[in-house]
Amino acid sequence: MYRRRFLASLVAAVAATTASLKLNAASASSGAPVSHTVKIANFAFSPATLSVGVGDRVTWINMDIVPHTATADDGSWDAGELGPNERKEIVVTEGLGGSYYCRFHPAMTAKLDLV
């Protein structure tokens, strides 16, 4: 899958530039925590689908001039309300995957693909 290859190469790139991570290069491809960013702009989440692993951090950044949320379809998690220029971070735990949306604009949908 392209996204997994991209993620692996991103991890490798970070590891290559950080001496301490270099020691963990072998384990990096098998699940070292990664920080992800999801931009909210023009009433859309980008990327719309994000592959994440347990322990990863996901930060949503609202670049619109109205508030948004990132809320699980099943209500099991909610990053909460993000005002303009605000950001919220969550740590991915077991079961924190699946589709999510904005409570204020239900047409805004995206997905955390827990791998």
The site for Cu ion (CB under 5 A) is made up of 68, 102, 104-105, 108
Tell me how far apart the alpha carbons of residues 84 and 62 are, in angstroms, rounded to a whole number. Answer: 6
Instruction: Give me the amino acid identity at 90.
Output: I
Pairing mode, if any, of strands 98-101 and 109-114?
antiparallel
Shortest Å, Cβ 90 to Cu ion = 17
Tell me how far apart the alpha carbons of residues 22 and 56 are, in angstroms, rounded to a whole number. Answer: 18
Residue placing its CB nearer to Cu ion in the complex, 33 or 47: 47
Is it true that the peptide bond before 47 is cis, omega within 30 degrees of 0? yes
Residue placing its CB nearer to Cu ion in the complex, 29 or 59: 59
Shortest Å, Cβ 69 to Cu ion = 6
Residue placing its CB nearer to Cu ion in the complex, 34 or 79: 79
Shortest Å, Cβ 68 to Cu ion = 3
